[in-house]
Every structure is written in structure tokens, then in C-alpha cells.
């Protein structure tokens, strides 16, 4: 037992050292998505198609594929999946998922609200249609984000958010994406029991991560 404990402690120490090194020196070098470029696409799409979410999705998707090639899944109307997380429900289309980044369209046609989660990644939420309201602890007034604006949830921070009606967004997360997945799965395991949706979500996440790893994208 003593040998096992010593070995386990040594392995954990090595893993922590590797994680610390990657987090400090390598993580940001794995990012490929330029937030300024995303903002340009969002501004262009929301200006040209202010009341047409489908046209917004298509314009942004085309711009992403043109710049990032096969690392982005082209938009279509079939590969949406429901998502329950932090008490909120919406649907998402996965544009990209890898170890260090994910990029999705996310939103709802009817409104929702919930907990942001606490993540090992920075989350950038570009509003495409509708509005998002955010409650930050200690602030008695909501922060309101409208089309073309971006809400940045910093790594490790937390908040309450609400989409009071139809709202769609382009969401970019940059950090340790696998650590975010339990938050996305917990509601399905503890309350909704929607095994079909959970299974499809797991498949989408895993297949895209593996596909991008094979392309050399961490």
C-alpha cells in the first residue's frame, strides 16, 4: 500500500507539472481563432441580415470555412442538438471542437436562463439576434448585450445569464475544453435523462476533437 501511494503521488506530481507547463507556455499557441476576425464577421452578418438568423449563420459559416478550412464544420440545418447546462436549455451547432477551443452557434427560440458554469477557459459570446442579460455578483443592474456585441466570461469567473426571448449567438471558448464537458452533460444525467441528446452530444464533441487531433490541431 505504501509503494502504491508513493507511486500514485509521483504520477500525480508529474501530471500536475505537465499541466502547469502546458497551461503557461503552450495553451495559447494552440488557438487558431482570431477574435477580431470573428467580431468582423459578426458585425457584417448582423448589419446585413438583422432579422434573419439563418442568413447570419450562413454568412458567418462561409467566412469561417474560407479562412480556417476543414477545421470548421460548414453550417447546415440538420446537425443542431439540444443542450441543457446550468439549468438553461437551448440548441447548438458545433462549428469546431478541439482540446483547446470550441466554436458553436448557440441560442433559443423561446428564451431561457441559468448558471454560466465555472470553466477552465475564457468564453466569448457574440450576440447575433435578440439580447442576453447577465447578472454579475454585487451588481444590482443587469449587463445587457445586443446584436454585434460580445460578452466575455473570463476563465474561473461565474454569473447568471438570461435570454428573455429569441436569442442566438456565436460562442467561442479558448482554454481546456474537455474540462468544460461535465458541465454540459450534468443536467442530462441528473434531471432531463435525455439519453439520445446526451449520446449525440458526446459523439459530436469526441469525434470533432479526434478529427482535429488527426489534423494536428490540439
Pinpoint the alpha helices (H) of 49-129: 53-68
Report the C-alpha gap between 76 and 73 in whole angstroms.
9
Report the C-alpha gap between 62 and 36 in whole angstroms.
16
Question: For all residues of the chain together, what is the average pLDDT?
Answer: 95
pLDDT of 46 higher than 90: yes
pLDDT of 147 higher than 70: yes
Pick the closest to residue 63 from 74, 53, 51 (CA basis): 74
The DSSP secondary-structure symbol of 55 reads H
pLDDT of 3 higher than 60: no
User: In the predicted model, what is the mean pLDDT of residues 21-48?
Assistant: 96
Q: Is the dihedral of CA 107, 79, 101, 61 positive or negative?
A: negative
User: In the predicted model, what is the mean pLDDT of residues 67-94?
Assistant: 97
Kindly indicate the confidence band of residue 9, based on its pLDDT and cuts at 50, 70 and 90: confident
Per residue in 165-215, pLDDT (tens digit) is 999 999 999 999 999 999 999 999 999 999 999 999 999 999 999 999 999
Report the C-alpha gap between 28 and 153 in whole angstroms.
17
Kindly indicate the confidence band of residue 4, based on its pLDDT and cuts at 50, 70 and 90: low
Amino acid at each position: 500500500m505504501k509503494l502504491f501511494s508513493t507511486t500514485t503521488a509521483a504520477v500525480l506530481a508529474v501530471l500536475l507539472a505537465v499541466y502547469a507547463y502546458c497551461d503557461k507556455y503552450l495553451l495559447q499557441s494552440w488557438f487558431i481563432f482570431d477574435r477580431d476576425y470573428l467580431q468582423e464577421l459578426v458585425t457584417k452578418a448582423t448589419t446585413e441580415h438583422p432579422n434573419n438568423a439563418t442568413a447570419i449563420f450562413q454568412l458567418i459559416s462561409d467566412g469561417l470555412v474560407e479562412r480556417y478550412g476543414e477545421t470548421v464544420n460548414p453550417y447546415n440545418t440538420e446537425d443542431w442538438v439540444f443542450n441543457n447546462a446550468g439549468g438553461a436549455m437551448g440548441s447548438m451547432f458545433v462549428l469546431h471542437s478541439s482540446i483547446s477551443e470550441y466554436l458553436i452557434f448557440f441560442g433559443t427560440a423561446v428564451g431561457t436562463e441559468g448558471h454560466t458554469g465555472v470553466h477552465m477557459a475564457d468564453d466569448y459570446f457574440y450576440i447575433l439576434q435578440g439580447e442576453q442579460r447577465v447578472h454579475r455578483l454585487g451588481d444590482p443592474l443587469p449587463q445587457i448585450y445586443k446584436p454585434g456585441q460580445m460578452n466575455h466570461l473570463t476563465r474561473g469567473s461565474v454569473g447568471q445569464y438570461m435570454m428573455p426571448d429569441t436569442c442566438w449567438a456565436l460562442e467561442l471558448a479558448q482554454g481546456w475544453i474537455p474540462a468544460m464537458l461535465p458541465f454540459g452533460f450534468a443536467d442530462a444525467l441528473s434531471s432531463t435523462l435525455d439519453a439520445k441528446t446526451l449520446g449525440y452530444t458526446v459523439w459530436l464533441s469526441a469525434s470533432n476533437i479526434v478529427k482535429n487531433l488527426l489534423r494536428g490541431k490540439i
